């Protein structure tokens, strides 16, 4: 699901505030966990539920007795499809971008399971980073440049408008659009009325690059000491799309967390000589459906 609201995180590996899950305290108590996945995690692993984000999945940090951290995503129904989509993208991106390694991915009885390695570093909404907002903005822009510079030829993941609008229509028909989660300027609107607006306002052109698809502060990790991008997470919507897919969501994430006055620095640091504000509004509207 959408993740525009980025509460400041505290965990050095990127997932922010955590709590021990009383229901799922170990692999042996997690209902429906496949045997081979349970064995891979280990009976003695320490489980913590990740509470940062609005992905629609259950996410756990599982730490082995040796101290190695991994992350487990579990999705049901529609979220199961999203989890497997992320697994496919992570496998394609391996060796191309710094992303988590897929350690296990499977589906069973309408649920999907994705176990990945941890990515080192701090998320861009972590207090280690937010003390220096100009640095944060420049790193947010740098991450986009890294993503958009990736050679997308042969990329099997199509996130262009034909595909995304069709997916938005399906979500409206199935009643899967969360109208209570619309941005403030669209509060009180219906999914049907927003979809009509989406179709009517469609951009005539697309400047195609490889995009993250949900480019917001919690999904970019950095080495806070060296000011280097260390990785990208939550890439389930990644694919070939207009670069404004990422620019628009980065601007919204920055505005929500720190105020719109920082957005011009984001555009300048990214290298936009002119800003297509109509596209920014359009891709923020599109994101309401996901």
* Beta-sheet strand order (sheet of 69-76): 18-19, 46-50, 58-63, 69-76, 111-117, 102-108
Q: What is the distance between the alpha carbons of residues 83 and 239, in angstroms, rounded to a whole number?
A: 15
Q: What is the distance between the alpha carbons of residues 230 and 226, in angstroms, rounded to a whole number?
A: 10
Which has the closest alpha carbon to 198: 78, 113, 281? 281
User: 25 with 52: CB under 8 angstroms?
Assistant: no
Give the number of other Cβ atoms within 10 Å of residue 230's Cβ.
Answer: 17
CA–CA distances in Å: residue 84 to residues 236, 266, 273:
8, 32, 38
Active-site pick, 6, 126, 214, 246? 214
Strands (E), 34-81: 46-50, 58-63, 69-76
Q: What is the distance between the alpha carbons of residues 182 and 127, in angstroms, rounded to a whole number?
A: 27
Residue count (the chain): 290
Give the burial class of 53: count Cβ atoms within 10 A of its Cβ; 0-12 exposed, 13-18 middle, 19 or more buried.
buried
Query: For the residues of 131-178, what is the DSSP string, one character each?
Result: TSHHHHHHHHHHHHHHHHTS--TT---B-SHHHHHHHHHHHHHTT---
Q: Which residue has the tokens 């697309």?
A: 206
Q: What is the distance between the alpha carbons of residues 168 and 289, in angstroms, rounded to a whole number?
A: 6
Is 214 a residue of the active site? Answer: yes
User: 119 with 221: CB under 8 angstroms?
Assistant: yes
Catalytic residues: 214
């Amino acid at each position: 699901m959408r993740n525009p609201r980025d509460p400041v995180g505290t965990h050095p590996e990127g997932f922010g505030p955590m709590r021990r899950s009383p229901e799922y305290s170990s692999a042996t108590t997690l209902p429906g966990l496949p045997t081979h996945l349970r064995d891979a995690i280990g009976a003695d692993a320490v489980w913590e539920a990740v509470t940062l984000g609005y992905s629609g999945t259950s996410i756990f940090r599982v730490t082995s007795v040796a101290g190695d951290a991994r992350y487990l995503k579990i999705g049901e129904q529609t979220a199961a499809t999203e989890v497997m989509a992320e697994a496919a993208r992570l496998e394609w991106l391996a060796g191309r971008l710094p992303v988590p390694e897929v350690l296990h991915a499977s589906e069973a009885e309408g649920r999907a399971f994705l176990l990945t390695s941890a990515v080192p570093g701090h998320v861009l909404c972590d207090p280690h980073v937010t003390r220096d907002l100009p640095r944060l903005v420049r790193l947010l822009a740098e991450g986009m440049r890294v993503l958009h510079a990736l050679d997308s030829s042969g990329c099997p993941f199509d996130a262009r408008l034909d595909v995304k609008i069709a997916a938005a229509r399906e979500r409206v028909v199935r009643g899967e659009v969360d109208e209570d989660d619309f941005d403030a300027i669209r509060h009180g609107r219906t999914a049907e009325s927003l979809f009509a607006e989406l179709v009517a306002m469609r951009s005539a052109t697309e400047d195609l690059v490889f995009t993250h698809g949900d480019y917001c502060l919690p999904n970019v990790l950095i080495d806070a000491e060296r000011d280097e991008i260390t990785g990208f997470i939550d890439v389930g919507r990644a694919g070939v799309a207009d670069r404004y897919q990422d620019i628009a969501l980065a601007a919204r994430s920055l505005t929500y967390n720190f105020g719109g006055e920082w957005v011009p620095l984001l555009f300048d640091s990214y290298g936009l000589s002119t800003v297509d504000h109509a596209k920014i509004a359009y891709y923020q509207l599109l994101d309401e459906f996901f």
